[in-house]
Copies of this chain bind each other. A is one copy, B any other.
C-alpha cells in the first residue's frame, strides 16, 4: 500500500511505524506485527503501532528511520506486511525451553543491534532467560555473538589485563588506583567503565571529574599505546552494543539474566587475557554472603575459561563505603590524594590487593608488594597524570582544583560512643538527593569509619550540593533515616534485632 510519510520527531532504538486502525485492518496487521517500508531501493523492517485517529493516507515514521529511507514529510512510501525477523523464532524457542545455538545467538544479536526486535519481544527474551537460566554453552554463544556484532579493540599486545567490580559499594574509586599501578609497571590495562545507573557515581563519572572519558575507540587506542592504560566511558565505543540494548529492557524489570555474558562480552571485546574480578560482599551488594560470592565467581571463571580469559575473583569487604568520599568530584579528589599520600588506608589496601592479584596472575612474585611499591614511590601517580594528559585533561591537577558544590550540610553525633554501622543505601540516597552523579560536585564526605570513637557534637559526615532545595531534601532524609549508627559500649552492637511475631490467627487453629 502506498502511504504518505508523516515524520514523528524523535528516534527509537527499534524501528516503529504508526498506522491508523483502518489501514492496519486493510493490511490485516495486529499491533507488533512487522511491515516492510520501502522507498526506491531503500527499506526498513518496522513494528506496527496502531493508532485510533491517524490520517488514513499516511504512515508515521520516526526521524532515524526517515534518514535511512531518505524520505521527507509528505513523500510516498510503500508499506506491506512482512514476516517477523528470524530471531523471533529464537525467542519463541526459548519460551518453550529450547537451547540457543551459536547461529541462533548470532541471528538474535544481529537483529537486536539492527533494531528489528520490539520491546515486548526483548522483555520476553530477558524474562525467559531469567526463569530458565543459560547453559554454559548458551552463555558462550550469546557472549561471542554480542562481541561479533560490535566493534573490538585491537591492541597488538599478547597480555591484556583488566579489573572489574560487580559494584554495590558507594565510594568505590579503586579503579582510579589500580589502572595507574598496573600501567606504571609496564602492563596494559584498557579500562572501560560505566556511568552510575542507580548509585551516586560510576567509575566513568569519577574519572570525568578529572579528565574527558567520552573517547571514541581510535582515541582510546592511542591513549593506551602511549601510556599502557586508560579509564574511559564504555558506552560510546560500540563494544557489544546488543548488551546495551538488553540492559535497557532489564533495568525497569529489576532482573539481569545476562549478567555474566554482559560483563565478559565487554572484556572479550577489548581483548582482555587476565581479569581480576572484585566481588564486593555484604548487605546491599550482589553477593550478600561469602557463599554467594563463591557461586557468582564460579560462573565468571567457567565462562571466562571457555572464552580464553583467565579470571581471578576476589571477595571484598563491603559493609561501609570505600574510603570517605562518595560522589564524582569528592571521589576524584580522594583518589588523587591516595596516589600521593597512601591514604585512606582501606582504599589503598583494596587497590593494592587487587593490583597485586592481577600481577600474580601473570607470574609476578609478591604482587602485593610490587603494587604497593609502585604506589609508594610515586610511579603510579606519575602514570595517572600521563593518562589524564593523554585523555585530554590537565596533568598538573591537584585535588583542591576539582570543584565541589558550595552548599553544605554537616550531620553531627548526638551521643558519645562508637560508629557501629554506616548504611550504604542511605549514604547512596543522600548523595543522589544532593545531585550526584549529574552534579559532579555533589556528594557525601564521611568524617568517620566503622569502629571510630566519637563524642556528641563530632561531625559524622558533610553533604555537598549546588542547590539549597536539594540540601533541604537531604535534611528530610537525615531526619528519618540514620546513615551512621552510634553504639554506646563498643564498635560493634551485639544485639541485631528483637524478633517479634504476631500470629495472624490463634496458634491452635493452624
Q: Contact flags (1/0) for A328-366 with B, using CB distance below 8 Å?
A: 000000000000000000000000000000000000000
Assess whether A251 is in contact with B92, with CB atoms less than 8 Å apart: no
Residue A123 is within 8 A (CB to CB) of chain B in the complex:
yes
Q: Chain B residues with Cβ under 8 A from A377's Cβ?
A: none
Residue A127 is within 8 A (CB to CB) of chain B in the complex:
yes
Q: Contact flags (1/0) for A366-387 with B, using CB distance below 8 Å?
A: 0000000000000000000000
Q: Chain B residues with Cβ under 8 A from A92's Cβ?
A: 253-254
Residue A119 is within 8 A (CB to CB) of chain B in the complex:
yes
Contacting residue for A6 out of B9, B63, B132, B438, CB 8 A = B9
* A181 vs chain B, min Cβ distance (A): 32
Assess whether B124 is in contact with A197, with CB atoms less than 8 Å apart: no
Q: Chain B residues with Cβ under 8 A from A122's Cβ?
A: 120
Contacting residue for A123 out of B127, B131, B254, CB 8 A = B127
Assess whether B252 is in contact with A118, with CB atoms less than 8 Å apart: yes
Contacting residue for A254 out of B60, B95, B251, CB 8 A = B95
* Nearest B residue (CB) for A51: B10
Assess A252 versus B33: contact at CB under 8 Å? Given A63-B53, A128-B131: yes
Name the interface residues of A221-255: CB closer than 8 Å to any CB of B: 248-249, 251-255
Distance of A127 Cα from B132 Cα, bound (Å): 11
* Nearest B residue (CB) for A197: B30
Assess whether A95 is in contact with B130, with CB atoms less than 8 Å apart: yes
Residue A98 is within 8 A (CB to CB) of chain B in the complex:
no
Distance of A253 Cα from B119 Cα, bound (Å): 11
Contacting residue for A95 out of B60, B132, B255, B432, CB 8 A = B255
Residue A161 is within 8 A (CB to CB) of chain B in the complex:
no
Residue A428 is within 8 A (CB to CB) of chain B in the complex:
no
* Nearest B residue (CB) for A8: B8
Contacting residue for A25 out of B12, B128, B432, B438, CB 8 A = B438
Contacting residue for A126 out of B6, B118, B124, CB 8 A = B124
Residue A18 is within 8 A (CB to CB) of chain B in the complex:
yes
* A252 vs chain B, min Cβ distance (A): 4
* A51 vs chain B, min Cβ distance (A): 3
Residue A121 is within 8 A (CB to CB) of chain B in the complex:
yes
Name the interface residues of A56-82: CB closer than 8 Å to any CB of B: 60, 63-64
Distance of A54 Cα from B119 Cα, bound (Å): 21
* A65 vs chain B, min Cβ distance (A): 13
Assess whether A95 is in contact with B253, with CB atoms less than 8 Å apart: yes
* Nearest B residue (CB) for A55: B9
**9 A-B contact pairs sorted by A residue (CB < 8 Å):** A9-B51, A9-B53, A12-B51, A30-B248, A32-B248, A120-B120, A121-B123, A121-B252, A127-B127
Q: Chain A: residues with CB nearer than 8 A to chain B?
A: 6, 8-12, 18, 25-26, 28, 30-33, 49, 51-55, 60, 63-64, 84, 88, 91-92, 95, 118-124, 126-128, 130-132, 197, 248-249, 251-255, 432, 438
